[in-house]
Amino acid sequence: MSDKNIFEKAGDIMENVTKFKKQSKLQAGYVERDEFKDSDLQKGFFCYNCIYWIDMTGGKCMIVDDKGIDVLGNTSDVIAAHGCCNGYEPNFDTIHEKKDVVVE
């Protein structure tokens, strides 16, 4: 496969991804509690452990918009590592003890 084909396919994938509209923080049930800011983020249901969370410029999510208010009425411009929403899917590569996470 030539480089041109790879770049064309990558461009097609990116175009398809951008067609999806992200949910607002309210729609996703996103909550960010300062009490969890210094927690061990590698245990628990935090954005840090989610397959959709991207650690760049403070935190982004592939399915939730980083702007707006959360379910508690707080506003921030990031998806915090210590936040969580109802779209959570565990990323087992970031979780230390896999036996602690139950997925049904």
Residue pointed to by tokens 């969890």:
36
pLDDT in tens, the chain (104 residues): 455 566 666 566 556 555 678 999 999 999 998 888 888 887 878 898 899 988 876 788 999 998 999 999 999 888 999 999 999 988 887 776 555 555 66
SS3 label, residue 60 = strand
SS3 label, residue 62 = coil
User: Can you give the pLDDT at residue 13?
Assistant: 58
Pairwise CA distance, residues 22 & 55, whole Å:
17
Separation in Å, CA 42 to CA 7, 46, 93: 35, 8, 10
Pairwise CA distance, residues 40 & 89, whole Å:
18
User: Can you give the pLDDT at residue 1?
Assistant: 47
